[in-house]
Amino acid sequence: MSKKYLHILSFDGLSKVDIEKMKKFPTFSKFYENASGCINVKSVYPSLTYCAHASISTGVYPNNHGIINNTKMQMNRVSPDWHWYEKDIKVPTFQEVANKAGYSILSILWPVTAGSKNIKYNMPEVMANRKWQNQIMVSLISGSPLFQIEMNSKFGKLRNGISEPELDNFSHASFLYSISKYKPDINMVHYIDLDSQRHDYGFDSKEANDALKRLDGRLEDLIKKLKKEGIYEDSVIVVLGDHSSRDIHSKIYLNTLFNKEKLLSKCEDGTISSYKVVCKSSDGSAYIYADNEVSDDKILEIINPLVENNIIEKIYISQEAGEFGADSNCRFMLEAAEGYFFANPVREKVIMTSEESTKYNEKLYRNNHGFSPYTKKDYETVFLVSGKGIKKGVFIDDMNLVDEGPTFAAILGLDMKNVDGRVLEELLED
Ligand SMILES: [Zn+2]
Q: How confident is the model at residue 430 (pLDDT cuts 50, 70, 90)?
A: confident
Domain with residue 344: its CATH number is 3.30.1360
Interval 155-184: pLDDT, tens: 999 999 889 999 999 999 999 999 999 999
| Residues 309, 402 within the same domain | no
**Are residues 419 and 59 in contact, defined by beta-carbon separation less than 8 angstroms?**
yes
| Residues 233, 349 within the same domain | no
Expressed in angstroms and rounded, the spacing between residue 243 Cα and the centre of ligand 1 is 6
* Residues 54-68, mean pLDDT to the nearest whole number: 98
Which residues have CB under 8 Å from 204's CB, separation 6+?
none
| Residues 148, 113 within the same domain | yes
Expressed in angstroms and rounded, the spacing between residue 13 Cα and the centre of ligand 1 is 5
Expressed in angstroms and rounded, the spacing between residue 302 Cα and the centre of ligand 1 is 31
Expressed in angstroms and rounded, the spacing between residue 370 Cα and the centre of ligand 1 is 9
Expressed in angstroms and rounded, the spacing between residue 399 Cα and the centre of ligand 1 is 18
Expressed in angstroms and rounded, the spacing between residue 12 Cα and the centre of ligand 1 is 4
Interval 25-41: pLDDT, tens: 999 999 999 999 999 99
Expressed in angstroms and rounded, the spacing between residue 67 Cα and the centre of ligand 1 is 14
Expressed in angstroms and rounded, the spacing between residue 85 Cα and the centre of ligand 1 is 17
Expressed in angstroms and rounded, the spacing between residue 163 Cα and the centre of ligand 1 is 16
Does any domain span residue 239? yes
* Residues 222-227, mean pLDDT to the nearest whole number: 98
Expressed in angstroms and rounded, the spacing between residue 48 Cα and the centre of ligand 1 is 6
| Residues 117, 40 within the same domain | yes
Give the total number of structural domains in the chain: 2
Expressed in angstroms and rounded, the spacing between residue 386 Cα and the centre of ligand 1 is 22
Domain boundary among 315, 346, 365: 365
Mean pLDDT lowest among 135-144, 147-156, 194-203: 135-144
Model pLDDT, residue 1: 55
Expressed in angstroms and rounded, the spacing between residue 53 Cα and the centre of ligand 1 is 8
Expressed in angstroms and rounded, the spacing between residue 201 Cα and the centre of ligand 1 is 16
Which residues have CB under 8 Å from 354's CB, separation 6+?
248, 249, 250, 251, 364, 365, 366
| Residues 206, 267 within the same domain | no
Expressed in angstroms and rounded, the spacing between residue 141 Cα and the centre of ligand 1 is 24
Domain with residue 148: its CATH number is 3.40.720.10
Domain boundary among 346, 365, 384: 365
Model pLDDT, residue 416: 98
Does any domain span residue 385? yes
| Residues 346, 415 within the same domain | no
Does any domain span residue 216? yes
Expressed in angstroms and rounded, the spacing between residue 236 Cα and the centre of ligand 1 is 23
Supply the angle between the helices 193-201 and 206-228 in degrees, to the nearest 10. 170
**Are residues 421 and 406 in contact, defined by beta-carbon separation less than 8 angstroms?**
yes
* Whether residue 321 has pLDDT greater than 80: yes
Expressed in angstroms and rounded, the spacing between residue 345 Cα and the centre of ligand 1 is 23
Expressed in angstroms and rounded, the spacing between residue 285 Cα and the centre of ligand 1 is 15
Work out the mean pLDDT of the chain and round it to a whole number. Answer: 96
Model pLDDT, residue 126: 84
Q: Which of 99, 381, 119, 105 is nearest to 239 (CA)?
A: 381
* Residue numbers of the domain that contains 356: 249-365
**Are residues 421 and 91 in contact, defined by beta-carbon separation less than 8 angstroms?**
no
Expressed in angstroms and rounded, the spacing between residue 263 Cα and the centre of ligand 1 is 33
> What span, in angstroms and rounded, lies between the C-alpha atoms of 367 and 12?
13
In sequence order, what E strands does 264-389 have?
264-266, 272-275, 277-282, 285-290, 312-317, 332-336, 340-342, 351-353, 367-368, 381-387
Does any domain span residue 371? no
Expressed in angstroms and rounded, the spacing between residue 237 Cα and the centre of ligand 1 is 20
Expressed in angstroms and rounded, the spacing between residue 78 Cα and the centre of ligand 1 is 21
Domain boundary among 365, 389, 414: 365
Rounded to 5 degrees, φ, ψ at 331 are: -80, -45
